Structure 1
Amino acid sequence: MRTCSLICLFLLIFLYTGWAQDENSSPPKSQRKRNQNRRRRVSSRSSAGRQQLTQPSPIPVPAANVPFYNGDDTIVHILQAVLGVSEQAPSYNILPVKKGHCMVNGMVMYDKAVWSPKPCITCMCTNGKEICDETICPFLSCSTTVTQDGECCPVCSDIVEFSGDSPEPNDPNDVVLMKLPRTQDEMNEIFRKELEENSEEEEWLKAEERKRKKKKEQKRRQNKENRKLELEAKEEERIQEERRRANEEEELRIEEEHRKKEEEMKKKEEERKKKEEEDREEEVRRLVMERKQKEREKLDLEEDEDDGENEDDEEDEDDENNILRGDVFRVPRRRIPGSRRPIDIHHPPLPPGCFISEITVSCSNAKLTGVPPISDPDLKSLDLLGNFITSIPKEAFNGMPNLERIDISKNKLMSTGIDPLAFKSLKNLKRLYLDGNILDQIPSELPSTLEELKLNENKLGSLKEDSLADLKNLVTLEMEGNQLSEANVSPMAFRALPHLSYLRLGRNKFRTIPQGLPASIEELYLENNEIEEIVETSFNHTINLNTIVLRHNKLEETRIAPLTWILHENLESIDLSYNKLYHVPSYLPKSLMHLVLVGNQIERIPGYVFAHLNPGLEYLYLSFNNLCNDGIDPISFHGAYHSLREIFLDYNELTSVPVGMEDMTDLHILRLNNNKIKSVSPYCICSAEDEGDSNIEYLHLENNYINTREISPYAFSCIRSYSSVILKPQKVK
């Protein structure tokens, strides 16, 4: 019996020893599954933690140690951030760093940016300061640790090294390492842990399902956001189209106003001429009556009473028939030898619709088909505007040799219909207007006394080297609305014009600046052409240039050479409206005072772009562009704070009053209407440091999104009169 008991005990010890060896050698399947689930969950938490560390969103600095879990079950403690990370990098930026940015190793880090200068150190830019967090590894109780590649902290090693003196863990003879049989409570605990592991696995699966649904929801939101962005882009295109239409309507309105003004001026001029004619006729009648009275008294003294009465009756009859009319051309009376009374000499009457005013004959819109035959050496001006004249013969002006001005605009003249010698005899002619005809070349043999020549709205297709020969006294030349280009205009065409100062070549087909411009030129108009580029040599010889107009062309800021006009000392006004500019051009002439950039696509005013101007820019017009607040900095107006008098920033994308407006000491007009401004801060117009009155006379803020009731009472305190501030109407969101 005792022997049987010993055998049973030995068998039980042997069985438990084998079971312990199996347990130590390889974990069961459920244990391996639990370990995998644990690693999967821990790795997901670790990746989420790393995502939080690398996100550019604001990261609050922890006040105490915050644990984060890595994939190897280790805990990483983030210490409270410390200032003064080693090696302060020097700054080589010429321009100052924006407020809120950090300078690290010569690079500008934006606010809330995150980077890692060294392993296990994470830095973040917060309000212009570098804040770095250092990873502190936890204490490990295991005897063997391993630091894996790419990780900061060591982890416990699964490999156990045994010394020569230690016993083998699976030696069946070693009773000390054997595990005693588990109790029922231990088995219940193992089953409970397995159930918990299973529930945790189910939770993990549910979490994965939630993540999948979340990703699906995020994708749906992203698609919705993309559709929203597309709709916003279409809305932006619609707004741009409406803005373009508004620009066109504004141009049409301006043109219509100009046309009405011209018609009104023309009507006033006609009324003035008519009144002058009536006054002249009245004066003539008065002089006739005085002459009659004097002659009557003289005849009464020389002749007897009867003869005197007869002569008086005849003279009364003659005078009544010969009162000067508006359609009769007449010179003073001459006395015939042997006669006691002067004789009136009359020229043939002028055509219907023609009038005489002192030394001017006006035949505007008189339906003439040719130059009327007039013979009067005292005439100085001849107006033949708006007729149907098709030709000018050689002898057309023989009877008017002293003409100084001829206007034959808006007729049907062709180059072949003008005799080469038609203007040759006019030795005093200074102004010749031939606008609105059908001329394809400049008339030849023009007198050298000519000072002003207008050939607008014709069919001019070329300008040869000798087209303007002998016009040495020409000051003004206008050739707008023709078919001229750099291909058909000779570079030597303007060589014979040493006094030319006013040149208009708008509405032609130029793609570059015409060559050979004389040094005397002061005003150059090249609007409504196809100019795409301005080279450095375009204005090399035009040292007296004062005004240049290049609106409605195809210019980009990169196609304007840096040395185009920066050294000019007399260029004060440049108009680059309605081109393809994306920011205010650099290298502006140092003498510039008037800059017009309306109707471009300007998004930014670069810093120091006006810094070199002397004495400084006075007028800056940037209406109808794409300017937003990010495109305007305090250094954008550097050099112009004390000179700017007018700034037009209306019809842009501004959401607040741009910075720097409060420092404009001589500003008179500021236009910010038709933007997206939502509020007006207390010191954006009136400086908090300057207690004096502002020079602003007109401040336009209408058609924005401003709630006028929320404006601070100090916002416009420096403006002398509140009537100068225009706030209404405002848009409704």
Structure 2
Amino acid sequence: MQATSLVYFFLIVSLCIDFSQNETSALLRRQRRRMRGRGLRRSSSAGHRSPRQPEMKLPAPVAGVPSIPLINIDDGVMGVFDSLIGLGGHESSYNVLPGKKGHCTANGMIMYDKAVWSPKPCITCLCSKGEVICDTTMCHPLKCPKTIIPTGECCPVCSDTASSSDSSIISLDDISELSGDSPEPNGLDNVNILSAPTQTEKDELLRTEAVESIEKEGRKRDEKKRKRKGKKNRRKYKAYHREKKPITRKEAADEEIQHESDEDDGTFRTPPHFPIPVPPIEAPPLPSGCSTSDTTVSCINAKLTQIPPISDPDLTSLDLTGNSITTISDEAFNGIPNLEWIDLSKNNITSPGIGRKAFKILKNLKRLYLDGNMLVHVPSELPSTLEEIKINDNHLHAIDEDGLQDLKNLVTLELEGNKLSEANVSPLAFYPLKSLSYLRLGRNKFRIIPQGLPATLEELYLENNQIEEVSEICFNHTKNINVIVLKHNKLEEHRIAPLAWINQENLESIDLSYNKLYHVPSYLPKSLLHLILIGNQIERIPGYVFGHMKPGLEYLYLSFNKLTDDGIDPVSFFGAYHSLRELFLDHNELKSVPFGIDEMRKLRFLRLNNNKIRTVPPERICRAHINDDDVHENSEEEENEESHLEHVHLENNYINTRQLSPHAFSCIRSYCSVILKPQKSK
């Protein structure tokens, strides 16, 4: 009797174990399908994020007896799959994210602990405490004559049994068990070991469970559809009142996909949409000799024969100085439309080689440098945004009335070293330049001041021309002019009209160096501060020539002339005593220190070197000391009367330094500021 009881007992235990293993295998198959379905649905966003994603080296699946799934009741998450148990010893192609405990990084993406994703179809990976474990889907062997692989599935199914009654085919929408919404762990604890069901009872139980599972899934799907539909309608209603426009079918589909992702509260959730980066359009590499930094490309002396094909909308500066470029096509700057500065100096660009619309696309261009080329006229259709143009040292031989049209924002124009003259520059050429303040026309062929200068002009440079005359009308419309440079021309003092510039209120600097002047010109502007007369043949400074100036002349340069003692009157500097700061009389023919210097109380710099001076009287540069009995009571007035002289140059004269009076330089603060050596011998 005892032997029989033991036999029945072991029979019951074996049946229970077999039953539990069958139940466990069925559950694991369902879980793997759900995991695979989730992975397939998200593989397009997570697995194919980058078009150049490298292949992952996944460990081969370990074949073995299915093991019991472990359920983490606290987290509501399945911890380990049956086919993942044997993968712990394999090295993964993913890395643990440093500094963040439990996080993983996969192909540049951060995965949180317990996150699941599918890098490739039929491959599922899990982030577990900083380690990535990947699993290849294992298919259950089938014993049917014909099998098919449904769309989106990894394993084949029997073609004649693939119906809704097959409990092994689970809907992708049913992921509640895997996500931990309603964990229902099935294990050996659920098996009643006191009763031994027969094979028929087990089959009936499996069929009943499959039917109940299908019905339950159907109810869940219907409920989710109702929820999605309700949420979609509510969102449409909100969107309608917010944007006042109908929602398109594409937008509704996108919303439905988003709602499905919102309803999925599983722990292994990954973002429903990953941005797919658009591969950048690769521009041709820069030629050798070119360099780039931030928003600038520099190709100086790079031996280029054409403008390199560059495609970079962020580029603002292009330097192509010192190459052999001859042409600029209409499409040369299409790839860099936001340029603000172009330097094409020292090339071989010709006027016929520039396309008519070459610069038209550059709507932000402010500076254009074309110095040292072979242009015969100013390029046409230049952008109206230009503020500075340099076309120095070319072959320009004409500027007509339309040559500078539409350049209303131009501030600086440089046209030095060309073949321009009053004969080939139209009087209306500068009329469109409503903002021009700086004009350089040096080293051309002008014989008179160009006509039609803009009213906004402040600085005019006409050096190294052939100008012989300054007429009364040439500056009538330039009331803002501040600087005029006429050095290295052919001016004589009697060819400067009395009313040429005397009434100018803003003219502060005139440079008449290296002309044919024999004395300091009269009728100078009232506002003049700087007068530069170096390198003429000036023999005389007329009396009171500076008397009408207000606030008064500050800088007078008369170096390299023919001034003598007779050419400087006691009143030659009248009007400048209280204002003159620098006086250059070096390299003349003076035999003594001129009168009036001791009256210049603001004078700081005096040059009398390279003359024929033999002595320095005590009171010619510095006033004699006042005795203590004659001290004025007004101390402030005494302070104003003190000399500010800091530098005196008297070298290269005939001065006997041993015979100089100790009071000759008493007003100078430091004797080291008086230069007396060397001196010439008799």
TM-score bucket (shorter structure): 0.5 to 0.7
Asked if structure 2 preserves the Cα contact closer than 8 Å seen for 1:649 and 1:671, the reply is: yes
1:370 paired residue number: 306
Distance (whole Å) between structure 1 residues aligned to residue 394 and residue 356 of structure 2 = 18
2:36 paired residue number: none
Q: Which amino acid aligns with 1:724?
A: S
2:580 paired residue number: 644
Whether 2:664 is the aligned partner of 1:715: answer: yes
Closer/same/farther in 2, CA of residues 722 and 398 from structure 1, 3 Å limit: same
The equivalences for 1:178-217 within 5 A come to none
Distance (whole Å) between structure 2 residues aligned to residue 531 and residue 389 of structure 1 = 35
Whether 2:107 is the aligned partner of 1:298: answer: no
- Displacement, 1:633? 1.4
Asked if structure 2 preserves the Cα contact closer than 8 Å seen for 1:574 and 1:596, the reply is: yes
The runs of 5 or more residues in structure 2 that have no matched partner are: 1-97, 116-124, 135-270, 627-637
Q: Which amino acid aligns with 1:718?
A: C
Whether 2:419 is the aligned partner of 1:483: answer: yes
Distance (whole Å) between structure 2 residues aligned to residue 340 and residue 435 of structure 1 = 48
Whether 2:510 is the aligned partner of 1:574: answer: yes
Distance (whole Å) between structure 2 residues aligned to residue 512 and residue 527 of structure 1 = 12
The equivalences for 1:1-20 within 5 A come to none
- Displacement, 1:347? 2.9
Distance (whole Å) between structure 1 residues aligned to residue 675 and residue 647 of structure 2 = 8
2:334 paired residue number: 398
The runs of 5 or more residues in structure 1 that have no matched partner are: 1-288, 312-334
2:219 paired residue number: none
Q: Secondary structure at the match of 1:683?
A: helix
Distance (whole Å) between structure 2 residues aligned to residue 445 and residue 677 of structure 1 = 62
- Displacement, 1:343? 6.0
Closer/same/farther in 2, CA of residues 293 and 551 from structure 1, 3 Å limit: farther
Distance (whole Å) between structure 2 residues aligned to residue 428 and residue 603 of structure 1 = 54
Work out which of the residue numbers 372, 380, 384 in structure 2 matches 1:448.
384
1:701 paired residue number: 650
Asked if structure 1 preserves the Cα contact closer than 8 Å seen for 2:601 and 2:642, the reply is: no
Work out which of the residue numbers 595, 617, 623 in structure 2 matches 1:681.
617
- Displacement, 1:308? 7.7
Asked if structure 2 preserves the Cα contact closer than 8 Å seen for 1:693 and 1:719, the reply is: no
The equivalences for 1:615-654 within 5 A come to 615-654=551-590
Asked if structure 2 preserves the Cα contact closer than 8 Å seen for 1:336 and 1:343, the reply is: no
Whether 2:564 is the aligned partner of 1:666: answer: no
The equivalences for 1:382-531 within 5 A come to 382-531=318-467
Asked if structure 2 preserves the Cα contact closer than 8 Å seen for 1:532 and 1:555, the reply is: yes
Distance (whole Å) between structure 2 residues aligned to residue 549 and residue 310 of structure 1 = 82
1:613 paired residue number: 549
Distance (whole Å) between structure 1 residues aligned to residue 306 and residue 321 of structure 2 = 12
Q: Which amino acid aligns with 1:722?
A: Y
Distance (whole Å) between structure 2 residues aligned to residue 337 and residue 702 of structure 1 = 86
Distance (whole Å) between structure 1 residues aligned to residue 528 and residue 556 of structure 2 = 10
- Displacement, 1:364? 1.1
Residue-by-residue CA offset, 1:142-193 (whole Å, 9 max, x unaligned): xxxxxxxxxxxxxxxxxxxxxxxxxxxxxxxxxxxxxxxxxxxxxxxxxxxx
Residue-by-residue CA offset, 1:556-605 (whole Å, 9 max, x unaligned): 00110100000000000000000000000000000000000000000000
Q: Secondary structure at the match of 1:432?
A: strand
Distance (whole Å) between structure 2 residues aligned to residue 462 and residue 339 of structure 1 = 58
- Displacement, 1:658? 0.6
Distance (whole Å) between structure 2 residues aligned to residue 601 and residue 364 of structure 1 = 45
1:62 paired residue number: none
The equivalences for 1:518-597 within 5 A come to 518-597=454-533
Asked if structure 1 preserves the Cα contact closer than 8 Å seen for 2:126 and 2:133, the reply is: no
Closer/same/farther in 2, CA of residues 309 and 725 from structure 1, 3 Å limit: farther
1:730 paired residue number: 679
Q: Which amino acid aligns with 2:666?
A: S
- Displacement, 1:634? 1.7
Q: Which amino acid aligns with 2:622?
A: C
2:284 paired residue number: 348
- Displacement, 1:348? 2.6
Asked if structure 2 preserves the Cα contact closer than 8 Å seen for 1:675 and 1:703, the reply is: yes
Residue-by-residue CA offset, 1:28-72 (whole Å, 9 max, x unaligned): xxxxxxxxxxxxxxxxxxxxxxxxxxxxxxxxxxxxxxxxxxxxx
Closer/same/farther in 2, CA of residues 345 and 663 from structure 1, 3 Å limit: same
Q: Secondary structure at the match of 2:621?
A: coil
Q: Secondary structure at the match of 1:616?
A: coil
Asked if structure 2 preserves the Cα contact closer than 8 Å seen for 1:336 and 1:342, the reply is: no
- Displacement, 1:520? 0.6
Q: Secondary structure at the match of 1:406?
A: strand
Q: Which amino acid aligns with 1:715?
A: A
Deviates more, 1:444-453 or 1:567-576: 444-453
Closer/same/farther in 2, CA of residues 344 and 715 from structure 1, 3 Å limit: same
Distance (whole Å) between structure 1 residues aligned to residue 488 and residue 133 of structure 2 = 77
- Which one scores higher on RCO, CA 8 angstroms, separation ≥ 6? 2
Distance (whole Å) between structure 2 residues aligned to residue 336 and residue 488 of structure 1 = 72
**Which TM-score applies when normalising by structure 2?**
0.59
Q: Secondary structure at the match of 2:572?
A: helix
Distance (whole Å) between structure 1 residues aligned to residue 326 and residue 539 of structure 2 = 53
Residue-by-residue CA offset, 1:193-239 (whole Å, 9 max, x unaligned): xxxxxxxxxxxxxxxxxxxxxxxxxxxxxxxxxxxxxxxxxxxxxxx
2:593 paired residue number: 657
The equivalences for 1:38-437 within 5 A come to 298-299=110-111, 302=115, 304=126, 346-437=282-373
Q: Which amino acid aligns with 1:675?
A: N
Residue-by-residue CA offset, 1:665-693 (whole Å, 9 max, x unaligned): 10010000111111111111111277864
Distance (whole Å) between structure 1 residues aligned to residue 556 and residue 518 of structure 2 = 16
- Displacement, 1:724? 1.0
Distance (whole Å) between structure 2 residues aligned to residue 686 and residue 474 of structure 1 = 51
- Displacement, 1:338? 5.5
Residue-by-residue CA offset, 1:341-371 (whole Å, 9 max, x unaligned): 8967643321111111111111111111111
RMSD, matched Cα? 2.6
Asked if structure 1 preserves the Cα contact closer than 8 Å seen for 2:105 and 2:111, the reply is: no
**Which TM-score applies when normalising by structure 1?**
0.55
Q: Which amino acid aligns with 1:376?
A: D
Number of residue pairs matched? 421
Q: Secondary structure at the match of 1:637?
A: coil
Q: Which amino acid aligns with 2:497?
A: A
Asked if structure 2 preserves the Cα contact closer than 8 Å seen for 1:408 and 1:434, the reply is: yes
Distance (whole Å) between structure 2 residues aligned to residue 614 and residue 669 of structure 1 = 21
Asked if structure 2 preserves the Cα contact closer than 8 Å seen for 1:693 and 1:720, the reply is: no
Distance (whole Å) between structure 2 residues aligned to residue 300 and residue 680 of structure 1 = 94
Distance (whole Å) between structure 2 residues aligned to residue 591 and residue 293 of structure 1 = 75
